[in-house]
Each structure stands twice: as C-alpha cells, then as structure tokens.
Amino acid sequence: MNPLLRRMLTSRLIRYPIYLFLLLFLFLCLVGIFLPEDYYWEDPLETDHHLYAGTNPYRDLPEDQLTVVKEILFTAETLRDVFLPTSLPDEDDYGFLSKLVRTLETREDISWTTLRETGVDSTLGHIANRRVFADEPYELTDRFRRLSEHWSRLALEEGKPERWEVEHDVTFLPPVLKVKGLEHQGGVNGGVEEEEEEGVLGALLTGEQREKMEERWAEWKKNRDRSVSYLKSHPPRPLAWFPVPKSQAGKIAAWTELVDDGAVEAGKSVDEERVVASQKWKPWYVGWEMEDVPMEWRAPGEEDMTPEEFDRWMAKFNRQREWGDERKRKQEEIQEKLKAGRDMVWEVKDEL
C-alpha cells in the first residue's frame, strides 16, 4: 500500500469517527434487544387521530339522501353558472330556472349535511349579493335573497347539530314555502304547475340535462369518496377553534380555562389537548375539497383512469372551459353596458 495512503487511513481523523460509529451502532443494537416488542415511537398521525377522532366531520353520505344531494348539487351549480355574475337575457331560460328555484323553496328533504355538501346556501348568498346584473323575471333576485336569509337564520338557531354529529345527517330544514306554484307569490307566474311533484327534478330536465347531472354526480361522488376514505382514517387537524359561549363573560371563562394561572395574554401558548377536552370550545373544519389528501390515495375498489378515459375527460374539460370563457365574455359585455347606462343616468341627475 502506498505509504501516504496508509498514513491517512491510520490517522486519528479517520480512526476516531469509525470507532464512534461502531460504538453507536452497538448501543442501538443493545437498545433494540431489551426494548419490549410492542414498543413504538409516537406517530404524529396517531396523535392527531387520538385528539380529533371524536369531532371528525367526514363520513359516508347516508344512502337514502344520495339522490337529494345529486339534485341539489346540480341545481346549485346550474344557478351558479347562470347567475354569477349576471344572467344573459337573450340566452337563458328563466322559466326553467324559476322552476329550479321553486324546488329549493319547497323541498322538505334538505338536511344540514346536504346543505353543507352542495354549498347551495353559499351559492345563493353570492347570487343575492350581486351588484351589477341584468333584469330578471319571476322575482328571482328577491327569492334568492329570501332563501339565503332563511337558511342563515336556521343556522344561527340554538340546537343546530355540529357536522360530526349524526343529527347533522338526519335533521331536515323546514322549507321557506309550504305551497306549490308561484301564483301564491304576489301573482307571479313562474311556470310551475300545481300538480308538479315537489323535490323531483326528473320531470323538469331534458335528456341532455339529466345526462349532464348524472355525469357531474359520478365525478363529484368519486372525488368525495376518495378524499373521505382517507379522512375517515386520518382525522384532520381543525383549521380553528371557537368558544361555544356567546356572551363576553362566557368567552373570557373559556379562555381562562386553557391557562393554568388564569392570565390570558396575546401570544401565550395553549395546550391543544386541553382545548380538545374542553366543552367550551368547538373546532371548525374546512370542506373535504380543501383538506390535505395524498395525490396517490385511492378509495377502496377505485381504479385509475385508463388513457382513453383520461383523453375523454380532458376533451370534456376543454369544452367546458371554452363554454365558460365564452359565457364570461358575454357576461362582461352586459355588465359594461349596464354600468355605462347607470353612469349616464347619474350624469343626467347631476345636470338636473
């Protein structure tokens, strides 16, 4: 061996790290021999499961409500696409749209879970708060606002079940109207016949619309099943915690309960286990669409798309995007005309 190389290998700079590594390896082997077989290092995911399993809001949808969720989802997304930010008077079928709204006004099978999963309350709230939009018949704007306010009032009432409670699935919301037909609303005729069956979209939809509803439902349900199958076994951390008491004194008591010395100060650390155990605090979760689910996760029995299925999905996605871009362009044109007309009116008033 080369004398220089031998000298380097036998130097203390080389020998001591090797000795240290061997001693560390021997120590770990001895520790492994004497540790009990059921010993494990604490897994953060297991810790989260222990803490949040009791308030995990993610579970399978009730089988007897699947059709309702499908119909409300179709209704919500149809109204969103048409009315936000404005409808198109020369293209949109207001009679059909009024019938869709009427089903929301009279359905008695909408549970809190259906309302949450479809986001129809949020959709109608955004529509009701529009600022620049075309004139729309059948008192649609007032009806959107009435529905939104109705659901908001119910959400603020005492006793509303939380998302992780079974009652959230089986508590049904009273309808805003208890009669059929728009003739009961100030003489407005929305094209809904007295004999129309409540809560059934089948009689209202064309074959093309039914196909669209079924395709959208299959896609939405597949995505939800995938995410929820993961979240059921991996309860997520709440995005925030809110005090249950409404009064200021109750809120102060809720905060005081979290600290040992009773002194509530900004920036003071709080033990999350204590928050979870407290009856004065409740968690707030986002929707399953916003939760962190691994991309590679698949629901039981789910198969990946074939190349042909992916190509069809991409073609459909591109068609929808093109349709949305064209509709957005027309909506912006209408809004510009409405703004110009409004500005002209204000100029005339100023001159007068």
pLDDT tens sequence for the chain (352 residues): 566 556 655 666 666 777 777 788 777 777 666 655 444 444 444 556 678 999 999 999 999 999 999 999 999 999 999 999 999 999 999 999 999 999 999 999 999 999 999 999 999 999 999 999 999 999 999 999 999 999 999 999 999 999 999 999 999 999 999 865 444 443 344 443 333 343 469 889 999 999 999 999 999 999 999 999 999 999 999 999 999 998 999 999 999 889 877 777 777 788 888 999 999 999 999 999 999 999 999 999 999 999 999 999 999 999 999 999 999 999 999 999 999 987 666 555 555 5
Contacts of 283 (CB under 8 A, 6+ apart): 52, 55, 238, 240, 241
Tell me how far apart the alpha carbons of residues 333 and 279 are, in angstroms, rounded to a whole number: 53
Side-chain-side CA neighbours of 254 within 13 Å: the count stands at 19
In this prediction the pTM is 0.79
pLDDT score of 33 = 65
| The dihedral sign for the CA sequence 180, 183, 185, 188 | positive
pLDDT score of 288 = 97
Tell me how far apart the alpha carbons of residues 210 and 71 are, in angstroms, rounded to a whole number: 10
pLDDT score of 178 = 83
| The dihedral sign for the CA sequence 234, 240, 243, 244 | negative
**Token pair for 218:** 């299959």
pLDDT score of 334 = 96
Tell me how far apart the alpha carbons of residues 258 and 241 are, in angstroms, rounded to a whole number: 12
pLDDT score of 189 = 42
First to last CA, the chain: 107
Could you give the angle at the alpha carbon of 284 between the alpha carbons of 282 and 289, nearest 5°?
A: 155
Are residues 144 and 104 in contact, defined by beta-carbon separation less than 8 angstroms? no
pLDDT score of 192 = 39
115-to-104, 119, 144, 154, 219 alpha-carbon distances in Å:
11, 6, 15, 12, 19
pLDDT score of 18 = 74
**Token pair for 67:** 């059709």
pLDDT score of 342 = 77
